[in-house]
Structure 1
């Protein structure tokens, strides 16, 4: 299952992105050998040859069978070499994709337009990239626990240090008008990590940029984009507003089952981080301007030096593994084939996009699809790079490090964007063993702080200011992993305890409610409130700011955690007025909560043969738990089926087993 966390936001997938992998599963895809021969000379030059190459790509059975529709653009040497639609903008009516008229949600590629508006204000001297952003926020105060200033450069490079970078909303949570400033004020993050210290994909940061653009110019964000980017580039079919024209020309988005998504509004209504609509034709104009020093024809949107600064690598965990320019990212690095590539990807329900630029070659590409079942971005990009810039294989010789030297890298590393995902790194003779929840890989040292696995994928570590190994970057493309400070053992959970791995892993991931206690009380019972709070804490879900409607939750210690899950329909009350937070939760109740969460994240049902007694309302959920083996050693299976002991109270050790194994299931879906 490939569920993209990446930048999917504004609704359930905004969290499941971080969650499901952003990461991704992109790295786990294999590609069939191309049948079109590599171009004779580096780079696309002839329009007919480019069209033949892309046409053949879309004829691949694995591409054609899943495709709804797509728009593809290739530009090179100040010319549009390809601007073509494939498949259908609407499958039912067989309406073809028209590159001039069919509009798509380009999702997080919107961020590059937001960054461009910011850089225009930098040129005018109205914004300083390295000044504290507080004066630009005009009364919006971001709590800061670090004592270090937050700058516009941090906002542009996903290095804010925010404790939350994504906002979770229910799939049916829409408003006709949700202003950007209100959205910002209702979703204030806290700066918990020194700005600039770590890379973590950050949707909130780009909404802050949009607010700053509004504040500095005194005009609505969308008007600034219209006046300063769309009109000069004659992008007449692009918008940040869902107008009647957009609705008339917008390609229908489809889910994994190829069913149409209902049209949805984003939150905020004008979303600088992902709310833009555009055609392939309009995207070609923006790409040409970026590749021509900020100019298209006689119209200029940026000065040449500004463009160079915008496209320059600003953040990377290692010199050989760059992460961010200003608004641009460096995803899919294994396909760069030695070229300098900057890009931007985007994901929303039903829409997946990727724009890549090779500034030194003055070449770029763009692809967008309108189906969750046909996310072919990386395949096309890989084929494009192999075809036009064939890679010259260079074997990296391993360097010799002793086991004692490698021991400096040992520890657990937690993915900053989704706490459910982590690595455990162990020193071996000549290499590091890197264990994710689903697999273990060998990484050999090939440079200072630089490692390579058996498949040639690079990973790197970073030291903090004190010289200690603090971050690890490997496979997960949109954030670094932070080294976890190990905690002392619980006095009542020896390391040979049958639930020790579940309990201690859960604590390492932040899923234990009282992290400082020396007792775990493994045989104690779990309440409904405690189980809900553990889920929110473990998953790193942004907490709701809304008060609960349940009378028995008022002023409860876990009111906000429970309300958070209520809003996304993972929890429900025991009646219209009551939740009963302090009642012991039964095993089948816990199963229903986990199952609802799994469905929210896109996991399919899993049938299983059950024995014992389970309530009818919980049977499908218990089957999922049993089928996915989300339980500890307390459960045994026989030929008659598995007795989940559904009616029993859930003990703390059993809750740890369910939650830890759910985290492993989640991480395995991300290919980790």
Structure 2
């Protein structure tokens, strides 16, 4: 089934309001759009419609950092405090966080739900200074991969200091302009001048529109800045496949920087957590490795995939998170049918439960608590959001579309220290939905010290 048919069928049957998707392969490009940008206005989704990139922005931020590395303003192996004396995390090891650790999610900064509510030119300075009082670390730098919004926020502030330009201006001047991303915006004020999609949340009757368009500017480098169309996002992906030269013909990065971003810098050794380069997740799909990043925004989800050696880029956005199921289907179809790749299912069977007591306990990260206990050969997990204050609660609940009750789920053992949500078909974990798997790490005295879900670590609480 072709791209247009896949998207059209999904919109007709899923309840997702709208999707725009595009594929570039070997000189040919196709973009399709179906549904609406906004269920309230009924405006149709168009091929040129813009959307929030969410965390795909992290690859843009890394690209900007590598530009400054090329110019000698940033050293990947230098400590963050060399550039930001105000980076005042006082927990042990925090002063040894290097620039490299910010870009490959091994910094350990425990700030994934840290939402300073500030916009404007001073937003990143305020965010970084606030970390000293409000967040800590989960582990020593370089010890584990734990997906880090906080690390990218710090990286954005480093860029501001070494260039003397606000992050949004730097993004426009050093990336969007040379890459020919002419339709990409960095603010709602710019986005409103074009067709722009709005996020939605599922309801019994379909979907309702989000009340929050984007997160504050404090999250700019991590995912609240860039608003792009599919054509511009495909151009960015092609730039990284073509040795740093954009389709416009301009050089955005050196070949050396592109290679460094695509080279493994760390791996947790678990099947559901991909190895990471710099910025890019290096996701294995059978005998093919793809450069990949997804991005969530309030009520929306986007993906960007580039396949080295095959001149293929896939990008998509859906204004309802349920669209991720479609993106999995498209990606696997591209790899298997168009490229002829062998992509076996990641998980094919459950396994006999081992001593589940080694996983039991309470695990915590910033404002999040997970209680784990063994029940009938499975792990039962109860996740509780514990907001630091009313501001944090207001922003996060708006981001996810409503109040956040404690949720209890069962997980089945499917591999060594690896578990899958009960009741879901195992074949669904081959694509992006592998992020739903849970793994346990760093065993001491026979008990796991860390739990990882969605690439994010929580640490065993002191008993």
Per the normalisation by structure 1, the TM-score is 0.54
Q: Distance in 1 between matches of 2:448 and 2:77?
A: 25
Q: 2:278 maps to what in 1?
A: 326
1:196 and 2:142 equivalent? yes
What are the within-5 Å matches in structure 2 for residues 327-342 of structure 1?
327-329=279-281, 336-342=285-291
1:76 and 2:25 equivalent? yes
SS at match of 1:438: strand
CA deviations on 1:176-226 (whole Å, 9 max, x unpaired) are 776321232234333352112233222121111111001011122222222
Distance 1:226 1:407, change over 3 A: closer
Q: 2:45 maps to what in 1?
A: 97
Q: Distance in 2 between matches of 1:128 and 1:201?
A: 22
CA deviations on 1:470-522 (whole Å, 9 max, x unpaired) are 55666x2221354556x4xxxxxxxxxxxxxxxxxxxxxxxxxxxxxxxxxxx
Q: 1:86 maps to what in 2?
A: 34
Q: 2:245 maps to what in 1?
A: 295
What are the within-5 Å matches in structure 2 for residues 412-561 of structure 1?
412=361, 414=363, 416=365, 419-424=368-373, 434-436=379-381, 437-445=408-416, 455=426, 462-463=441-442, 470=448, 476-483=453-460, 487=463
Q: 2:229 maps to what in 1?
A: 279
Q: 2:387 maps to what in 1?
A: none
Q: 2:111 maps to what in 1?
A: 164
Q: Report 1 or 2 for greater relative contact order, CA contacts < 8 Å, sequence distance ≥ 6.
A: 2
Q: Distance in 2 between matches of 1:107 and 1:269?
A: 13
Cα deviation for residue 55 of structure 1 reads: 1.5
C-alpha contact (below 8 Å) 1:160/1:205 kept by paired residues: yes
Question: Aligned-pair RMSD on alpha carbons?
Answer: 3.7
Q: 1:136 maps to what in 2?
A: 83
Distance 1:392 1:178, change over 3 A: closer
C-alpha contact (below 8 Å) 1:337/1:385 kept by paired residues: no
C-alpha contact (below 8 Å) 2:138/2:365 kept by paired residues: no
Q: 2:217 maps to what in 1?
A: 268
Cα deviation for residue 407 of structure 1 reads: 8.5
Counterpart of 1:252 (choices 198, 208, 211) is 198
C-alpha contact (below 8 Å) 2:198/2:213 kept by paired residues: no
1:208 and 2:154 equivalent? yes
What are the within-5 Å matches in structure 2 for residues 546-625 of structure 1?
none
Q: 2:69 maps to what in 1?
A: 122
Distance 1:416 1:80, change over 3 A: farther
Q: 2:123 maps to what in 1?
A: 179
Q: Distance in 2 between matches of 1:368 and 1:358?
A: 18
Aligned length: 415
Per the normalisation by structure 2, the TM-score is 0.76
- Structure showing greater radius of gyration is 1
Cα deviation for residue 76 of structure 1 reads: 2.3
Q: Distance in 2 between matches of 1:342 and 1:392?
A: 16
C-alpha contact (below 8 Å) 1:294/1:300 kept by paired residues: yes
SS at match of 1:183: helix
Structure with more strand by fraction: 2
Distance 1:347 1:227, change over 3 A: same
SS at match of 1:421: strand
Q: Distance in 2 between matches of 1:374 and 1:284?
A: 19
Cα deviation for residue 300 of structure 1 reads: 1.1
Q: Distance in 2 between matches of 1:226 and 1:347?
A: 21
CA deviations on 1:79-102 (whole Å, 9 max, x unpaired) are 3422232222344554333333x2
Counterpart of 2:173 (choices 227, 230, 233) is 227
C-alpha contact (below 8 Å) 1:200/1:416 kept by paired residues: no
Cα deviation for residue 268 of structure 1 reads: 2.3
Counterpart of 1:310 (choices 251, 257, 261) is 261
Structure 2 gaps, min length 5: 382-407, 430-436
Q: Distance in 2 between matches of 1:264 and 1:461?
A: 35
Distance 1:450 1:214, change over 3 A: same
Q: 1:596 maps to what in 2?
A: none
Q: 1:349 maps to what in 2?
A: 298
What are the within-5 Å matches in structure 2 for residues 380-419 of structure 1?
380-388=330-338, 389=340, 391=342, 393=344, 411-412=360-361, 414=363, 416=365, 419=368
Q: Distance in 2 between matches of 1:382 and 1:208?
A: 34
Distance 1:416 1:63, change over 3 A: farther
Structure 1 gaps, min length 5: 1-35, 37-52, 488-672
CA deviations on 1:134-178 (whole Å, 9 max, x unpaired) are 111144433232376001111112222223332246xxx676776
1:149 and 2:96 equivalent? yes
Distance 1:417 1:247, change over 3 A: farther
1:108 and 2:60 equivalent? no
